Chains A and B, each alone.
Chain A
Amino acid sequence: CYAKTRQTFSAKRIIHLLSLTFSLNIAMASRLTLVLLCLTSLWPCALACPPLCKCYARRAEVVCSEVPLTEFPSEGLPADTTMLTIQLTNITTVSERHLNATPLLEGLHLYSNHLQSLPSDLLRGVPRLHTLDLTGNRLVDLPAGVFHHAPLLTLVLKNNRLERVDTEWLSGDSGLTWLDLSGNRLTAIPPGLFKKLPRLESLDISHNRLEKIPAKSLDTLTKLERLNLQKNKLVSLDPLLFHSMTNLTNLYLTDNRLNMLPPSLFQSLGKLKILGLEENQLGHIPPGLLDPLSSLDEEGLDLTGNPWLCNYKTEHLWRWLQKNKGKVFLPEAIRCAKPNPLAGRSVLSFGVNILLGSLLALVDYDYGWRLGVLASLCCPSHCECSLSVWSTGVVCSQSDLSLFPVEGLPITARLTTSSPLNLSVRCGRRPERRAGPGVYLQLYHSNLETLSGRTSSKAFHSSTPWTSLGNRLACLPPNHALHHGPLLQRYCFRTCPT
């Protein structure tokens, strides 16, 4: 107490006056004086503590929690307070003047009050403040300059009602290392915001309404270790978005609407340990996407909760999962959503993949056969082809197909019963009588207008009654198997003229 000697003189006078006035003995008068001086904040004494609050003198910490405060408890706040907690109260504002009473403040914890607004230059009187927690208030917007003046390292604005962030809130030389904006109503990030935060190590913007992150807006975050973008509305990401984040260890993109990822997205993330991609709309993983992630932790990658499309494009994912099973969280929960026959199947449950030029056939492992590779399975464009032990499936449904897929059909498949089984598939222009596993065709709900007259009727297995449903066929070729199938009972097709 630097002012102690000065106070002592006045205290002595007051004590003397009091004892005379009220006929108090000196001891009682001293006590009374002390209390009076404390209340009027003239004496930075250890006894001082705002009513309804708790004070811990050792480290000058003041805690006002769950008490009926309606305004900032200035009365009796010790001037040497280093940590002030005002939480779960009804206070609606804090001003620069309030904080001027605690110039040595280092931490200000204002969790869960009713703060609706804050003034510019709020922190002018607290030049040692490094931590500011405003979680759980009702802030909708903030003025320019609100967080200037104090050398903040940690700023938490979690669970407020912020609809925008403004670069002007922060000073130009901000040394902020931890910024938490989660749980607000942000729809966009101003592109220049992070240029002001080159020292940021942890950034949390989860639980907002971001639809995109502007390209290059994260380029200055070279020190960033943790980035949380969970639960926003991101549909796509710029390929270079994370290029400068070479120190990133934790990246959460969980629960967005990502339907594709650019192949070079994770190129610079050699230190990434944890990657959350679960609960998005991913159908496939482009080749090379996951290869740069050499530091992934055990169970560090989560791909569950995506509608994986299990077709030839799935090969890269399948191979990567085979090699890196330990790095994935719940690998058996990575399931195909489409095509229909494979829905619900775990991607890893396909025993063998067959390398097909640019196609993958997923082999049904149900019968425990191991197939060795090796031939080229062809597949018409607009279709998806798959191989099972008993048939080759060509699914061209719900596509833009308007002509019967004459070219590139897998027309025969031959299985030899040696071990490993050898599979060869002949590709051709038109389906013929099958020599091995049959060919079934699904052509429903496309835009077929005609069935080629050259197709052999024998190619159509009678178990494909749905072949022509939902198309725009006006006629069927003569001798077409469908003439004899159950379909005829429901649809009347005339025979096409030859």
Chain B
Amino acid sequence: MPVDIAKGKKSFVQKCAQCHTVEQGGKHKVGPNLWGLFGRKTGQAEGYSYTDANKSKGITWEEDTLMVYLENPKKYIPGTKMIFSGLRKKSERTDVIAYLKSATSE
């Protein structure tokens, strides 16, 4: 199925927006603001207090790493404080990641 950014946004609002903002200059909530996420290493959003496990994961956030992460975040980064069991459906993950890409960068 082709990527659907509108559906991705809908899923994001329901499952992620409680803890994360996406816009530039958006505030940190329970989780960090995600502006500038793509191409950045884990645990780097300024001003947010990450766990050491997250900071030391050492990978860079791109479509492929996000695909693995968002399926089972706690498995990918053991010791993260993000309490989210994941998006099991591949199509939903693809849509959310597409939305994220559009919403967190110029």
A contact residues vs B (CB 8 Å cutoff): 54, 56, 58-59, 61, 63, 65-66, 83, 85, 87-88, 107, 109, 111-112, 131, 133, 135-136, 154, 156, 158-159, 202, 226, 228, 250, 252, 274, 276, 297, 299, 302, 329-330
Contact = CB atoms under 8 A, between A and B. Distances in A.
B74 interface: yes
B78 A135 contact: no
Contacts of A252: 14
A61 B18 contact: no
A131 B83 contact: yes
B24 interface: no
A43 B73 CA distance: 34
B74 A87 contact: yes
B53 A61 contact: yes
A59 B51 CA distance: 8
4 smallest beta-carbon distances between A and B, as pairs: A65-B78, A63-B79, A56-B52, A133-B83
Nearest to B13: A274
Interface in B47-106: 51-53, 56, 74-75, 78-79, 81, 83, 85
A109 B52 contact: no
A202 B18 contact: yes
B52 A135 contact: no
Contact of A58 (B18, B52, B74): B52
A175 B96 CA distance: 32
B10 interface: yes
Contacts of B6: 299, 329-330
B51 A111 contact: no
A183 to B, nearest CB: 8
Interface in B25-61: 51-53, 56
A56 B10 contact: no
Interface residues of B, number: 17
Contacts of A61: 51-53, 79
Given A65-B79, A87-B78, A329-B6, A136 B53 contact: no
Contact of B81 (A88, A107, A226): A107
Contacts of B75: 65-66, 87-88
A61 B13 CA distance: 30
Contact of B52 (A59, A158, A202): A59
A41 B51 CA distance: 24
B83 A135 contact: yes
Contact of B53 (A63, A111, A329): A63
Contacts of A276: 14
26 contacts: A54-B79, A58-B52, A59-B52, A61-B52, A61-B53, A63-B53, A65-B75, A65-B78, A83-B51, A83-B81, A85-B53, A85-B74, A85-B79, A87-B78, A88-B75, A88-B78, A109-B74, A112-B74, A131-B83, A250-B13, A274-B13, A276-B14, A299-B10, A302-B10, A329-B6, A330-B6
A112 B76 CA distance: 13
Contacts of B74: 65, 85, 87-88, 109, 111-112
Given A66-B78, A135-B83, A56 B18 contact: no
B2 to A, nearest CB: 15
Interface in B1-30: 6, 9-10, 13-14, 18
B39 to A, nearest CB: 26
Contacts of A250: 13-14, 18
